[in-house]
Amino acid sequence: MEKRKLGKSGIEASIVGLGCNNFGAMPVDASRRVVDKAIELGITLFDTADVYGNRGGSESQLGEILGSRRKDIVLATKFAMPMDEAGTKSGASAAYIREACEASLKRLKTDWIDLYQQHRPDPKTPIEETLRALDDLVKAGRVRAIGCSNMPAAELAAANETSRKQGLAAYVTAQDEYSLLVRGVEAALVPTLEREGMGLLPYFPLASGLLTGKYEQGKDIPAGTRYARMGRFGERYMTDENWRIVAGLTAFAKSKGHSLLELAFAWLVAHPLLTSVIAGATRPEQVEQNVKAATWKLSAADVAEVDRLTAKS
> What type of residue is 194?
E
Q: Which of 66, 53, 47 is nearest to 22 (CA)?
A: 53
Longest Cα separation, the chain: 56
Q: Which residues are catalytic?
A: 52
Instruction: Please return the burial class of 52, using the count of CB atoms within 10 Å of its CB with bins 0-12, 13-18 and 19+.
Output: buried
Residue 240 CB neighbours (<10 A): 8
**What are the two backbone dihedrals, phi and then psi, of residue 153, each rounded to the nearest 5 degrees?**
-55, -45
In which element (H, E) is residue 202 found?
A: strand 199-203
CA distance linking residue 192 with residue 180, whole number of Å: 20
Q: For the chain, percent helix, then strand, then coil, each to nearest 5?
A: 45, 15, 35
* Nearby residues of 271 by Cβ (< 8 Å), 6 or more positions away: 200
> What type of residue is 277?
V
